[in-house]
Amino acid sequence: MSVIEITSKEHFTQVTDVPKDKLLALYFHTQWAPPCIQMNTVYQTLSQQHPEVSFISINADNHSELSEMFDVSAVPFFALIRDNTILKEMSGADPKEFVTSLNELTNGKSTGEDSQRNEQHNSTAPGDETEEQLNLRLSKLTSAAPVMLFMKGTPASPQCGFSRQVVAILREHQVRFGFFDILKDDSVRQGLKKFSDWPTFPQLYINGEFQGGLDIIKENLQEDPKFFENTI
C-alpha cells in the first residue's frame, strides 16, 4: 500500500474513517525542511512493509488546521493512531524511533512510555549559504518553538554541564521546549554567536527573544520564581 497524500480537510476525514483496529500513521512534513526529504523515502518504504497500516502524509504548511489539531510545532512530525487515540507522537528526523514504535504497535503490543515531548528542530544548511540566508534561518530557528534551547548535545544526552543544567531547570519547571544541537551544525553554532551577540552556549530564546545563558536564567528565577510563567 502506498502513502496517501492529503489534499483537503475533507479528504483527511474521509481517509481516517477506518475500522477501530486499524493503525493510522500520520506524517507531517514541509517542502522546505531538508530532513523531511530524507524521511519521505523512509516513510514510503515503511508503507510497503506494513500494508496493514494506513500511511497518511500531510503537508503541514498547506494544512495548518490539521497541524494545529495535532499540535505540530516542528517537522518531521509523526503520530500513530488507533481507535481515535493517539498512541504515540514524535518529532524529528530520527526514523529509528518511528520504526520501533510502528513495530511495537503492529505486533499488538502497546507501550506505556510517554513520547519524548521535546522537539528537535533540524534545519540543514544548503551548500553555499549566504550570511543573509543564514540569518533568515537563524531567525526562523530561534522562534521555531515558544521556548527554544540552543545547546550542546540533546536533552537526553547533553554534551556540556551548562546545557545539562538548563535542561534540568526547564524540566523542573515543566517548560515544554524545542531544542537545537549546535554541535551538529557549525554554521548555526558560529552564526548564532553573532546573531545573539553572545559568545557561548547554551542560549535560551523565549518567543523569539534572546534571554541569555544559564547564569541569567538562574538569576531570573531567583528574582522571580514564576519567571517562565510570566515570560512565556
Partner 1 sequence: MIRSMSKPIEQAIKTKITGAFQPVHLAVKNDSSKHAHHAGLRGATNVTESHFRLTIVSDAFAGKALPARHRMVYTLLDEEIKEKGVHAVQLKTKTPTEWEKDPKDL
Chain positions contacting partner 1, by CB under 8 A: 152, 159-162, 197-200, 210-216, 219-220
Residue 71 C-beta: closest distance to partner 1, Å = 30
Distances (CA, A) of 115 to 69, 97, 98, 118, 119: 17, 10, 11, 9, 11
Toward partner 1, which CB reaches closer, 176 or 193? 193
Q: How far apart are CA 190 and CA 164, in angstroms?
A: 20
Toward partner 1, which CB reaches closer, 117 or 194? 194
Q: How far apart are CA 114 and CA 204, in angstroms?
A: 25
Q: Are 29 and 75 in contact (CB under 8 A)?
A: yes
Toward partner 1, which CB reaches closer, 36 or 167? 167
Sequence letter at residue 3: V
Residue 21 C-beta: closest distance to partner 1, Å = 47
Residue 17 C-beta: closest distance to partner 1, Å = 50
Instruction: Retrieve residue 143's grid coordinates.
Output: 522562534
Toward partner 1, which CB reaches closer, 29 or 152? 152
Phi, psi of 161 (to 5 degrees): -60, -35
Residue 219 C-beta: closest distance to partner 1, Å = 6
